Structure 1
Amino acid sequence: MTGITYEDFLDLSYDPAETDLVCWFAIEPAADMAMESAASRVASESSNGTWAALTVGDDFTDLAATAFSIDDNEIGVAYPAGLFEPGNMPQILSCIAGNIMGMKAVETIRLLDCEWPESIVSTFEGPTFGTAVREEIFDAGDRPITATVPKPKVGLSTKRHAEVGYEAWTGGIDLLKDDENLTDQAFNPFEDRLTESFAARDRAEDETGETKSYLINVTADTNTMLERVDAIAEQGGEYVMIDVITTGWGAVQTVSDRCQELGLAIHAHRAMHAAFDRLPNHGVSMRVLAQISRLCGVDQLHTGTADLGKLANEDTVGINEWLYSDLYGLNDVLPMASGGLHPGLVPELIDRIGTNIGIQAGGGIHGHPDGTHAGAKALRQAVDASVGGIGLETYAEDHPELGVAIDKWGTETPR
């Protein structure tokens, strides 16, 4: 018989195994708690420990996490792969970001980063397309794909919503997108919006000769989402959109399975992410949320604007690099830049984060003095100029829509 105490969860000489999930936390211990004691409690509570010393017998399977590194206020914790159910993201998060977030042993705790071993990654399907949507769906070449959300974000009738989509598509935008809080309200029912928007999409494709698509929001309970996914496939859609955090990761995995069967891509809206990642010393970082999104199967994810837009950002560049990275053969994810963007910001955005992205503008299109169609033209013109290495002022000489946008917004960042 052996006894288990907090001290058993701290071993600064431990070298994590290849199969371990390694998590990095920033912690501030409670006022009366040493860093070593706090670190051991994080490892204990997130694996197989408890506050009381335990005596166990030979039939006990030891799945203890180990706090193996302490560097100032950052600690590393290694979790044996056997602690986790294969392919079950909610269960993994219940370990690495569960009760530990409310422990008295720490004043604050933030999950900064994870190193995912092949033993865990291989149990997830990952994205169906990832960045390949740019070629496989749109044949976009070297340019970013573009998207817009009709504004006001809710309240438009179905008829007007489809009209705005047509105006944007024919102006050069690739994707119409629902906003995070538009699903199936009386003023714009899901089924009507789906049918009328795709009819407008078809007209826009005939007129422009380009592929256009629609990110319609399926967010709801899981069964309803599956019904909506099937309806989109029947309409010939290429995408679904999910508010992945408010929906929950288990539901995202279920929808991803259905989308893979139907050959649909998933656009992930990150609404509610700031509840986890905005405070710099507590919660779960956007980097980790992005990692979870990739494992659960999303193809596109909002990752910020590298501080050019209206929303607070973390390390957009670093997050995007991780989404592009090799991960034991799992497909990558296309980062979407959105939140306060307009044509004047496009050159700097591309300079900071490259062209293997999507660029989404709402007010920066619909707020154009000459309306949505002209605003869509202006954004596409800004993209084409930037990819072609032509200054916006020069390009605007022959593209009046871009010129009007620059006159209105310049290169200022909104708040």
Structure 2
Amino acid sequence: MTGIKYEDFLDLGYEPADSELVCDFYIEPAHDMNMEEAASRVASESSNGTWAELQVDGSITDLSATACDIDGNHITVAYPDALFEKGSMPQILSCIAGNIMGMKAVDNIRLLDCEWPEAIATSFMGPQFGSSVRNEIFDAGDRPITATVPKPKVGLSTDQHVQVGYEAWTGGLDLLKDDENLTDQDFNPFEKRLYDSIEARDKAEEETGEKKSYLINITADGDEMLRRAELVADEGCEYVMVDVVTTGWAAVQQVRELCEDLGLAIHAHRAMHAAFDRVEEHGVSMRVIAQICRLCGVDQLHTGTADLGKLANEDTVGINEWMYSDLYGMNDVLPMASGGLHPGLVPELVDRVGTNIGVQAGGGVHGHPDGTYAGAKAFRQAVDATAEGIDIHEYAADHPELQTALDKWGTETPR
């Protein structure tokens, strides 16, 4: 018989193999645990250990994770790739972010980062388009693409919603976007909103000579999402939007597979992410959530505003860099900056994160004193000026919509 004990999961001299999934955690051990004891329990519980010392007859497949580094409150755990079902994000997360989040051995635990081995990463489809949407769909050149959400985000009738979209498109914005909680309610049914919005989109394209599109929220149960995606493709729209956290990763993978056949890009809204990543000592970091999104195959993802806007601070720059990085030839993801943006913040945003992004404003468009059309013009003017290296205050001298926006909001960050 072979005994399996907690200490068997700790080896601070171990060098992870290239084939292993390597995860970095922040942990705060329980009051009666030291770091070594807590680290070994994290590796044990997230692989093939248990609380009791086991006596095993014969040989078993070695699927033990190894806690291989401790640096202050940071630990590194290496997982053999045979532990995982390839191409199944739910199964992988059930290991590396499952029971360990509730263990008594740690007061807090946070999954900070992952190094994905090739065999696991390439078992996922990844993005179909990624940041190439900027030019494959919109011919945006060196500028960010632009988007807006009608405000209020729920409560507008379909006719009101479509009118807002039409004014935003003709004002110069590229994308109309549903917000996370607008799907198929009686006041604005999904199918009517789709049909009427695409009709208005086509009219806006004819009038402006620019490509326009619509990020329509198909979030629902799995079968219904697939049905809605097919309707979207039938109408000649280029995108679907999915609330990726609330709908679940298996459903995202299903949508991605169908979108390969339909030629649709996937815009990922991250609603509920802060339930996992806002408390800095516990949960799952937005960096890891972004990694999961890329593997599962979204093309655009909200990643924050680099401490501008109204949302809590997060590592937008670092997350964006990872999403652009080489990952065994997998397509990248276009970061979307949103949450409290307005024209006066565009230059600083681009200075911090570059132009290979999408920028989205809701209140910063529709709250313009002269309405949505003027607000869209002002936002596009700010983007164009910044992409061309022109000071927006100088640009505003010949662009009254931008000047009005600057007079109203200046360059202040909202709360």
Aligned to 2:366: 366
Q: 1:241 is paired with a residue of what secondary structure?
A: strand
Specify the alignment match of 1:401 in structure 2. Answer: 401
1:143-158 map, 5 Å? 143-158=143-158
SS in structure 2 of the partner of residue 44 of structure 1 = helix
In structure 2, distance between residues paired with 1:11 and 1:386: 52
Aligned-residue offset at 1:260:
1.0
In structure 2, the residue matched to 1:49 is 49
**What's 1:328 paired with?**
328
* Aligned-partner Cα distance in 2 for 1:66–1:117: 16
Distance 2:317 2:265 in 1: 23
SS of 1:307's partner is coil
- Superposed, 1:233-244 pairs within 5 Å as 233-244=233-244
Other-structure match for 1:216: 216
Aligned counterparts of 1:86 and 1:56: Cα–Cα separation in 2: 27
Q: Deviations over 1:85-137 (max 9, x none)?
A: 01000000000000000000000000000000101011001000000000100
Amino acid at match of 1:107: D
| Distance in 1 between residues matched to 2:278 and 2:263, nearest whole Å | 34
Once the two structures are superposed, the pairs formed by residues 13-412 of structure 1 within 5 Å of their partners are 13-412=13-412
Q: Quote the offset at 1:55 in angstroms.
A: 1.4
Write the deviation string for residues 183-225 of structure 1: whole angstroms up to 9, x where unpaired: 0000000000000000000000000000000000000100000
Aligned partner letter, 1:185: Q
Segments of 4+ in structure 1 off by > 2 A?
none
TM-score by length of 1: 1.00
In 1: Cα distance, 2:108 partner to 2:360 partner: 34
| Aligned counterpart, 1:11 | 11
What residue ranges of structure 1 are gaps of 5+ in the alignment?
A: none
Question: Partners in 2 of 1:285 and 1:95 — Cα distance?
Answer: 16
Aligned equivalents of 2:275, 2:30: Cα separation in 1: 22
Q: Distance in 1 between matches of 2:324 and 2:149?
A: 25
- Name the CA distance, whole Å, in 2 between partners of 1:130 and 1:56: 48
Q: Distance in 2 between matches of 1:111 and 1:309?
A: 26
RMSD (CA atoms): 0.5
Q: CA deviation at 1:57?
A: 2.7
**CA–CA distance in structure 2, aligned partners of residues 182 and 96 of structure 1:** 32
User: What SS does structure 1 have at the residue aligned with 2:61?
Assistant: coil
User: What CA distance in whole angstroms lies between the structure 2 residues aligned with 1:198 and 1:61?
Assistant: 55
Between the aligned partners of 2:258 and 2:119, the Cα distance in structure 1 is: 24
Q: Deviations over 1:365-414 (max 9, x none)?
A: 00000000000000000001001111111100110000000000000000
TM-score computed with the length of structure 2 as normaliser: 1.00
CA deviations on 1:237-289 (whole Å, 9 max, x unpaired) are 10000000000000000000001111100000000000000000000000000
CA shift, 1:313, in A, is 2.6
Shift of the alpha carbon at 1:43? 0.2
- Distance in 2 between residues matched to 1:330 and 1:57, nearest whole Å: 43
The letter for the 2-side match of 1:48 is N
Q: Give a deviation string over 1:51-87, Cα, whole Å, max 9, x none.
A: 0011123341110000000000000000000000010
Q: What's the CA shift string for 1:226-246, capped at 9, x where partnerless?
A: 000000000001000000000
Q: Secondary structure at the match of 2:27?
A: strand
SS in 1 for 2:413: coil
Distance in 2, Cα, partners of 1:21 & 1:286 = 18
* Identity value in percent: 77
Partners of 2:404 and 2:252 in 1: CA distance: 41
Q: Secondary structure at the match of 2:95?
A: helix
Equivalent residue letter for 1:298: V
Distance, in Å, in 2 between the alignment partners of 1:229 and 1:3 is 52
Determine the C-alpha separation between the residues in 1 that align with 2:10 and 2:57. 21
Letter in 2 for 1:202: D
Where 2:275 maps in the other structure, the secondary structure is: helix
User: How many positions carry a matched residue from both structures?
Assistant: 415
Q: Equivalents in 1 of 2:57, 2:142: separation in Å?
A: 62
Give how far 1:145 is off: 0.1
Secondary structure (helix, strand or coil) at the match of 2:310 reads: coil
How many angstroms apart in 2 are the aligned matches of 1:410 and 1:293? 35
What amino acid sits opposite 1:145 in the alignment? Answer: I
- The SS at the match of 2:268 is strand
Distance, in Å, in 2 between the alignment partners of 1:117 and 1:374 is 49
| Per-residue deviation, residues 159-183 of structure 1 (Å, max 9, x unmatched) | 1101100000000000000000000
- Give the partner amino acid of 1:272: M
Shift of 1:341: 0.1
SS in 2 for 1:275: helix
Q: Work out the CA distance in 2 between the residues paired with 1:191 and 1:220.
A: 13
Q: Distance in 1 between matches of 2:36 and 2:228?
A: 50
Distance 1:214 1:196 in 2: 11
Q: SS state of the match for residue 126, structure 1?
A: coil
Alpha-carbon separation, structure 1, partners of 2:397 and 2:51 = 70
